[in-house]
């Protein structure tokens, strides 16, 4: 490999995710560091995302991700970076520069100057990478500390001292609540969204919320999961919060403030405002799980994506004494990433691509990704010999089925049985519990 090419690759390695995303004209959200969008290669909605603070990108549809701009460019453009051509092409994209011509001859002087530059660049890259790793670790540790602070400030849900709202919420959504001390309730938990004039985080709302820890192996608290509650908002009993979108801002609309009337339905449909999620997490989630009831020492574990479904199922089977009930937080953390080659076309669903041509929606496959990290999916204790997985019946069926099959394969061990339980079609366990309880 010529020096010119080596320098070219080193230069490309120094390009940050943010710089590359700008060159590639990827979409940036108006605020924040996480920028979800359809994958330029796999399509879908919000399948692809990059994070400018953590220097990471990820494609849920392709089951792939990484922490460098070259890899991101290669995935978006369908290049194979294991091949020399693919790698150079990806470098050329992130640098917005042509691949240097290897045939050109150069003077000794030029050569010496370039070697020096190459060496400097290499050292700078090493230093930058070390700084980035430090600041990432710092950021993660700060977030974990904040999460532990939120958990500590909340009161155990079942205790009489806790705001009764938490119990009422689970009563409404799941027909009862667990007699366990994992779940907590905060009387006034801040909901951060957007930025104030000085660029600091903005508290859009503050109110009662169920606070659950995310625990890793060894029961270490690695993060927390927050569900804001508003008993005046059936059927989900969660507050209605809205945010101005980039499109809305471009149209000259003003931010939505809590206390304002909800945006007009037509503005929501046009994507000028968006309804904001009323569940959030702080700290780390990956590899952890949310305990709901029982003790992780149990040999039978029962859980799915959300706290509500796990609770509803626990209520339904009478909180078995031999079982531990949990939630994974989301489907990705329940099932882990897919092996890219197991990706398949959805048998029915189609979506127009960038050129308006209808193409089948691609679904992450049932085979777990090879060589994945231990924390790519929730942990399951080695002693568990029955793992009951609860499927979400109101999510897209094919995608959910593939993910549940992947979860079963991922968590499979000799002598462990893993039944997958489906609610009635079109339902989740929470809604079934509510209708049974009425
Ligand atoms: Zn993709």
Give yes or no for a contact between 218 and 381, defined as CB atoms under 8 angstroms apart. no
Q: How confident is the model at residue 103 (pLDDT cuts 50, 70, 90)?
A: low
Distance 364 CA to ligand 1 centre (A): 10
Query: Rounded to whole angstroms, how far apart are CA atoms 68 and 48?
Result: 15
pLDDT at position 12 is 94
The 8-class DSSP code of residue 396 comes to -
Has residue 280 been placed in a domain? no
Has residue 263 been placed in a domain? no
Distance 247 CA to ligand 1 centre (A): 24
Q: How confident is the model at residue 114 (pLDDT cuts 50, 70, 90)?
A: low
Query: Rounded to whole angstroms, how far apart are CA atoms 302 and 313?
Result: 8
CATH (domain of 320): 3.40.1360
C-alpha of 377 from chain center: 11
**Residue 119: count of CB within 10 angstroms of its CB:** 12
Beta bridge partners of 225: 212, 281
3-17 pLDDT, tens per residue? 888 889 999 999 999
Distance 299 CA to ligand 1 centre (A): 38
Distance 317 CA to ligand 1 centre (A): 40
pLDDT at position 97 is 87
CA 372 vs CA 86, 189, 335, 408: distances in Å: 24, 35, 12, 15
pLDDT at position 2 is 80
Has residue 246 been placed in a domain? no
Residues 6+ apart with CB under 8 A from 119: none
Task: Reduce the secondary structure of 214-243 to three states and give it as a string.
Answer: EECHHHCEEEEEEEECCCCCCCCCCCCCEE
The last residue of a domain, from among 71, 88, 104: 104
232-259 pLDDT, tens per residue? 999 899 999 999 988 998 888 988 999 8
Query: Rounded to whole angstroms, how far apart are CA atoms 362 and 434?
Result: 34
Has residue 179 been placed in a domain? no
Has residue 272 been placed in a domain? no
Give yes or no for a contact between 423 and 164, defined as CB atoms under 8 angstroms apart. no
CATH (domain of 33): 3.90.580.10
287-319 pLDDT, tens per residue? 999 999 999 999 999 999 999 999 999 999 999
Distance 155 CA to ligand 1 centre (A): 42
The last residue of a domain, from among 53, 69, 104: 104
**Residue 151: count of CB within 10 angstroms of its CB:** 21
Which residue range(s) make up the domain with 32?
Answer: 3-104
Note residues around ion ligand 1 (Cβ under 5 angstroms).
39, 41-42, 59, 61-62
Closest-CA residue to 402 (of 362, 358, 432): 362
354-386 pLDDT, tens per residue? 788 888 888 999 999 988 888 899 999 999 999
Has residue 47 been placed in a domain? yes
Q: How confident is the model at residue 195 (pLDDT cuts 50, 70, 90)?
A: confident
User: What are the backbone angles phi and psi of residue 120, rounded to the nearest 5°?
Assistant: -60, -45
| Mean pLDDT on 46-53 | 90
Distance 39 CA to ligand 1 centre (A): 5
Beta strands in 107-252, from DSSP E residues, in sequence order: 155-156, 184-195, 201-215, 221-228, 242-244
Beginning with the edge strand found earlier in the chain, give each strand of the sheet holding 155-156 in spatial order: 155-156, 184-195, 201-215, 221-228, 279-283
Beta strands in 52-183, from DSSP E residues, in sequence order: 56-59, 64-66, 155-156
Higher-confidence position of 195 and 295: 295
Give yes or no for a contact between 147 and 204, defined as CB atoms under 8 angstroms apart. no
Distance 279 CA to ligand 1 centre (A): 26
Query: Rounded to whole angstroms, how far apart are CA atoms 44 and 186?
Result: 36
How many structural domains compose the chain? 2
Has residue 192 been placed in a domain? no
Has residue 303 been placed in a domain? yes
Does the N-terminal peptide bond of residue 235 adopt cis geometry, omega within 30 degrees of 0?
yes
Query: Rounded to whole angstroms, how far apart are CA atoms 84 and 99?
Result: 12
* pLDDT at residue 104 tops 90: no
Residue 327's H or E segment, with its range, is strand 323-327
The last residue of a domain, from among 78, 104, 130: 104
* pLDDT at residue 105 tops 70: no
Give yes or no for a contact between 50 and 37, defined as CB atoms under 8 angstroms apart. no
Closest-CA residue to 354 (of 28, 40, 22): 40
């Amino acid at each position: 490999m010529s020096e010119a090419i080596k320098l070219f690759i080193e230069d490309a390695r120094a390009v940050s995710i943010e710089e590359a995303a700008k060159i590639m004209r990827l979409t940036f959200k108006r605020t924040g560091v996480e920028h979800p969008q359809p994958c330029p290669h796999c399509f879908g909605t919000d399948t692809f995302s990059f994070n400018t603070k953590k220097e990471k990108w990820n494609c849920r549809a392709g089951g792939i991700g990484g922490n460098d701009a070259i890899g991101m460019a290669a995935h978006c453009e369908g290049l194979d970076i294991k091949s020399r051509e693919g790698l150079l092409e990806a470098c050329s994209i992130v640098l917005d520069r042509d691949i240097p011509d290897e045939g050109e001859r150069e003077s000794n002087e030029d050569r010496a100057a370039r070697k020096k530059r190459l060496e400097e660049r290499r050292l700078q890259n090493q230093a930058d990478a070390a700084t980035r790793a430090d600041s990432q670790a710092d950021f993660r540790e700060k977030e974990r500390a904040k999460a532990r602070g939120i958990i500590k400030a909340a009161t155990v849900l079942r205790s009489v001292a806790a705001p009764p709202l938490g119990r009422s919420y689970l009563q409404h959504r799941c027909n009862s609540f667990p007699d366990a001390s994992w779940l907590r309730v905060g009387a006034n938990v801040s909901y951060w969204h957007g930025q104030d004039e000085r660029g600091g985080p903005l508290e859009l709302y503050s109110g009662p919320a169920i606070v659950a820890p995310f625990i890793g192996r060894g029961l270490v608290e690695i993060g927390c999961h927050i569900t804001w509650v508003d008993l005046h908002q059936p059927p989900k009993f969660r507050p209605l919060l809205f945010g101005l979108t980039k499109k809305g801002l471009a149209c000259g609309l003003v931010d939505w403030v809590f206390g304002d009337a909800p945006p007009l339905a037509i503005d929501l449909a046009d994507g000028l405002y968006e309804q904001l999620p009323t569940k959030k997490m702080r700290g780390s989630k990956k590899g952890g799980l949310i305990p709901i009831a029982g003790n992780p020492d149990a040999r039978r574990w029962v859980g799915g994506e959300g706290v509500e479904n796990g609770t509803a199922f626990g209520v339904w089977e009478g909180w078995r004494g031999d079982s531990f009930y949990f939630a994974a937080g989301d489907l990705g953390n329940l099932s882990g990433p897919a092996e890219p080659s197991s990706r398949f076309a959805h048998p029915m669903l189609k979506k127009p691509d960038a050129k308006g041509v209808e193409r089948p929606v691609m679904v992450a496959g049932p085979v777990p990704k090879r060589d994945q990290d231990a924390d790519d999916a929730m942990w399951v204790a080695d002693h568990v010999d029955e793992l009951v997985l609860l499927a979400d019946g109101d999510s897209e069926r094919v995608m959910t089925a593939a993910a549940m099959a992947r979860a079963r394969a991922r968590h499979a061990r000799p002598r462990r049985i893993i039944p997958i339980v489906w609610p009635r079609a079109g339902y989740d366990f929470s809604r079934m519990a509510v209708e049974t309880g009425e």
